[in-house]
Amino acid sequence: MRTWIESLSGACNVISPENPIICHVGDEALFNWTTDDGRIIYSANWGIKNGNHPDSQFINTNVFTTVVNYNKNMDPKYRPRVYFVGNLKMGRAWFKLKNVSLNDDLKYVANIRESKGGVLAYIVQLKVKKKANITWTTQVASTHVTDATATSIKINDSFDATSFSPKRDSFDATSFSPKRDHDHHYAGLLIAVLLLPLMWSFLVLISLKKNQKR
């Protein structure tokens, strides 16, 4: 929001904060008025609006003493929460209200002397909203594969699994025997080892019978 001021020293531009200022309970509200050309602000005070004046004046300060004065009669609920955070020499009349509550939803006014002319009032509305109650829930999704047949599945662009099927009845185990040849070889050796003694005994018996006949 831009407000033009006509003064003895010419036109200047004081930039006001957004109106309304929107905050949530517990946030900080920044009331910042600034001259866009960096022109000095000679004095400023700030508080709750009553007409064009701060009814409950919080703070007043000026560029000559640079002292920030807090109103001694300020409501105790405000004193720990209001601050001057600007720099009048740099054209910054900035005030802050911390830890806002719903009761702070009011109109506020700053009386600013930007030049050798008169004091001008700048009014802004503070809107305070309740924080939304957000409940975080975590859901675990489970996926059951009932009939999945994938052709040319690629993992990381390097693995290719062709005709992938997780169904048990679709898996052909008849051709899956990486040790079949070795098993046949071992079985043949085992049979030969078992038969050799028998054959040897059989030959010995035949030889004995022949000797008896003689």
Distance separating alpha carbons of residues 75 and 189, to the nearest angstrom: 105
Q: In what order do the strands lie in the sheet with 120-129?
A: 21-24, 120-129, 107-113, 43-50, 53-62, 68-70
Asked if pLDDT for residue 3 goes beyond 50, the answer is: no
Mean pLDDT for 25-45 is: 94
Q: Which residue has the higher pLDDT, 172 or 102?
A: 102
Asked if pLDDT for residue 159 goes beyond 60, the answer is: no
pLDDT at 171: 45
Contacts of 35 (CB under 8 A, 6+ apart): 12, 13, 14, 15, 41, 91, 114
Asked if pLDDT for residue 137 goes beyond 70, the answer is: no
Asked if pLDDT for residue 38 goes beyond 80, the answer is: yes
Identify the CATH homologous superfamily for domain 23-129. Answer: Immunoglobulins (2.60.40.10)
3-state percent helix, strand, coil for the chain, nearest multiple of 5: 20, 35, 40
The pLDDT tens digits of the residues spanning 63-103 come to 999 999 999 999 999 999 999 999 999 999 999 999 999 99
Mean pLDDT for 34-39 is: 90
Distance separating alpha carbons of residues 158 and 153, to the nearest angstrom: 10
pLDDT band, very low/low/confident/very high, at 55 (cuts 50, 70, 90): low
Does the pTM surpass 0.85? The reply is: no
Q: What is the overall mean pLDDT for the chain? A: 76
pLDDT at 98: 98
pLDDT at 56: 65
Asked if pLDDT for residue 170 goes beyond 60, the answer is: no
pLDDT band, very low/low/confident/very high, at 109 (cuts 50, 70, 90): very high
Question: What are the angstrom distances between the C-alpha of 210 and each of 201, 203, 204, 213?
Answer: 15, 11, 10, 5
Asked if pLDDT for residue 52 goes beyond 70, the answer is: no
